[in-house]
Amino acid sequence: MLNSDNWFTEVYPDEGSALSLELTEKLHQEQTPWQKLEVYQTTKFGRLMLLDGCIMLTGRDNFIYHEMMTHPVLCTHPAPQKVLIIGGGDCGCLREVLKHPEVRHAHQVDLDQRVTWASEKFFPELCESNNDRRASLSFTDGVAFIEQAEEGSYDIIIVDSVDPVGQAARLYSKEFYQACYAGLSEDGILIAQSESPLFHKDLIHSMQSRMADVGFKDTTTLFFPQCTYPSGWWSASMAFKAGKPLGFRTVDIETEYYNNDIHQAAQAMPQFMRKVSRSESTSKGE
């Protein structure tokens, strides 16, 4: 919401908290066929994109999210050549994926073409790989796309989705994970953003449970800071079709946050998350 003092505030009523950013001007606003899209200039966080009144990205901190959604999974896979990005209309994940020379094809599938238009206009740094010969962009339903894909088509599937409400709720379903499992190659890996570990730990565990139910051999969660998302602490969960590899590849790419130490440290599970996992395991055993 906006107030008369030029501040945007995103309120998290279930958690009794909020985040505010000071604005200088509105750059764009429209109602797309799918959602309300707004872009503002802020005083300290660069440009701000909102979807349905929720912060999607800022120019100041988006690099953390985009790097952690891509480089850990790409460096964990032994030879990622074909990558599917479901969602990710701002194209930041696509840019990071294509920093890896071994990737031969990266296909981004997002429902709302206007998000990509807005990113190209107001966040051009995120879209600098859109014309890479290895990149394909489609604007259609990502759930239907993966359901219709040939089995074993992709080495990695990245689900860069919004919160699990409305149309996006399908991206957190058992049926969707089943389609992703089928669409992955034998040693394929799925990674999906999984919200705040502080606010949404139950969602993380439900995602991992559904991933296991459809056949993924192992799951793990990455934890990282994201100051403009709820709680300032975010996560992405990985699921491994053939089991989690013992190590990971080191690569020489330009990043602002991700490195070898971050790759290892991000997988350390907080103790309160471990307690929930043990409690669930005991309950199932009973």
Q: What is the pLDDT of residue 251?
A: 87
CATH number of 62-245+255-285: 3.40.50.150
Whether the predicted pLDDT of 75 surpasses 90:
yes
Whether the predicted pLDDT of 139 surpasses 90:
yes
Catalytic residue ranges = 160
Q: Is the dihedral of CA 243, 249, 251, 257 positive or negative?
A: positive
Q: What is the pLDDT of residue 162?
A: 75
Q: What is the mean pLDDT of residues 91-117?
A: 98
Helix, coil or strand: residue 135: strand
Whether the predicted pLDDT of 81 surpasses 60:
yes
How buried is 187 (Cβ within 10 angstroms: 0-12 exposed, 13-18 middle, 19+ buried)? middle
Residues composing the chain: 286
The CATH T-level fold of domain 7-58 is Spermidine Synthase; Chain: A, domain 2 (2.30.140)
Whether the predicted pLDDT of 282 surpasses 50:
no
> Residue ranges of the domains in the chain?
7-58, 62-245+255-285
The whole model's pTM is what? 0.93
